[in-house]
Structure 1
Amino acid sequence: MNPDEQLVDVLIVDDQELVRGGLRRILRRRDGFAVSECADGDEVPAALAAKRPDIVLMDLRMKRVDGIEATRTLRQRDDAPPVLVLTTFDDDDLLSGALRAGAAGFLLKDSPAEDLIRAVRTVAAGGSWLDPTVTPRVLSAYRSVRPTPAPSGNRLGELTARELEVLELIGRGHLNAEIARALGISEVTVKSHVGHIFGKLGLRDRAAAIVFAFDHGIVAPGQSHS
């Protein structure tokens, strides 16, 4: 780790001690991570009061308060950190429920360590991460409960050519800084485009923008994070 690089503070919320231990071994301090832990979803408020993490790595199934309810409660805070759901269950309804609760994305626990590290860094920096192995099915379950705006009408047509380019890159999971480099524009300009996109399409966050991009053919399955 570069001594000048700031640590990414990660709060792990999982009721299995072995899982928490495995995550600690991957998210090491020497690689740029500082880790704290909760053993169940009901411990999250106290953990946030003690130390504000950059990201919460949330299990879905826990004994007292599950990950969806814990995420929903956490995201009601004005200063809420982003949530990345990490689960062994590729249950479409559970994962789409996590998105509806405000999670910035999800990753299966059998994913490679490199994907976990990339996902944590991406979400902590303000991006989204949808595990490509289950994304199409999860999006189908997501939109069955929360339909995205229809592509007909003027909403999609209101986007400029540049805004469509930005939306495509959001759909692929890119951060604002990466979009700026890809398009040769400033990060401030990217933020302005993102705000316009959200406003024109009625989207609340980047996860919803990714869903929209997939639903309307702007990004195809398998293109994310490329």
Structure 2
Amino acid sequence: MIRVMVVDDEALVRSGFTMILNPAADIEVVAATCGGQALAAAVEHAPDLALLDVRMPDVDGLTVLARLMELPERPVVAMLTTLDSDEYIATALRSGASGFLVKDTDPDELARLVRSPAAGAVVLAPRVTATVISGYLHHHGEHRAAAHMVSRLSAREREILVLLSQGLSNADIGRRLHLSIGTVKDHVSAVLAKLDVGNRVQAALWAQRAGLLDGAPA
């Protein structure tokens, strides 16, 4: 069961996400709250995944993200965005966000995306990918440094980096490369360690900077 916390200043958004996600057999919305109460709700309910609005009037979403990342058992955090907040993307990634979802995500797609962290995949809505990566690289693109970082990886690790950057779960990567999930997990851990990043989204940004995704299937 994937335990989800929805953090948004609008009650309608919170109730909408709850109504969409709760009917899924493997998903439970354990808390739906505004930003000011998010930390207390996270401590009380220990969610696996927090869907966190970027912009809230009571407490800024980036402030909430930083506080959640300080918890001993911190949740995976996917930022909720309207695609008009590119200036927040770099800060959110550096602060530990593991993905971005748009608020008007199709209901059928939402449950699938929420399942991604449990399967070891990136929480990233498809139409957010270009905005996230291109916006981040515009401000922080250092292709030479990226190429140096990626050169630390073995050929197999680079192959896995490309696949995880495409949003594939550990199970999907295993099937593609005929590897066990345990072996894939070990390779992914090695990739994150060698790139000195905390999650798969940040690893995907290194792959993009280094040109590994040029011509790769979306």
Instruction: Give the TM-score taking structure 1 as reference length.
Output: 0.85
> Does residue 11 of the first structure (1) align with residue 5 of the second (2)?
yes
Is the Cα contact below 8 Å between 2:22 and 2:28 reproduced in 1? yes
Deviation of the 1:220 alpha carbon: 4.4
CA distance in 2, matches of 1:9, 1:103: 17
Partner of 1:128: 122
Q: CA RMSD in A?
A: 2.3
Q: 2:202 aligns with which of 194, 199, 208?
A: 208
Letter aligned with residue 194 of structure 1: V
Displacement after TM superposition at 1:147 (Å): 5.2
Percent identity of the aligned residues?
A: 37
Compared with structure 1, are the counterparts of its residues 121 and 131 closer, same or farther at alpha carbon in structure 2 (3 Å cutoff)? same
- Matched residues in 2 for 1:69 and 1:147: separation? 27
Displacement of 1:202 after TM fit?
A: 2.5
CA, structure 1 residues 157+30, in 2 after alignment: closer, same or farther (shift >3 Å)? Answer: closer
Residue number in structure 1 paired with 2:98:
104
SS in 2 for 1:42: helix
CA deviations over 1:61-81 (Å, ceiling 9, x no partner): 112112111111101223101
Structure 1 unaligned spans of 5+: 1-6
| Mapped contact 1:149–1:202 kept (Cα < 8 A) | no
Taking the aligned partners of 1:185 and 1:222, their CA distance within structure 2 comes to: 21
- Relative to 1, partners in 2 of residues 1:26 and 1:201: Cα closer, same or farther, differing over 3 Å? same
Determine the C-alpha separation between the residues in 2 that align with 1:66 and 1:106: 16
SS of alignment partner, residue 193 of structure 1: helix
In 1: Cα distance, 2:24 partner to 2:197 partner: 37
What does 1:37-56 correspond to in 2, within 5 Å?
37-56=31-50
Find the counterpart in structure 2 of residue 150 from structure 1: 145
Cα gap change, 1:123/1:51 in structure 2, threshold over 3 Å: closer, same or farther?
same
Per the TM alignment, residue 146 of structure 1 is displaced from its structure 2 partner at its CA by 7.8
Q: Offset of 1:30 from its aligned partner? A: 4.5
Q: Which runs of 4+ in 1 moved over 6 A?
A: none
The count of aligned residue pairs is: 217
2:72 aligned with 1:74: no
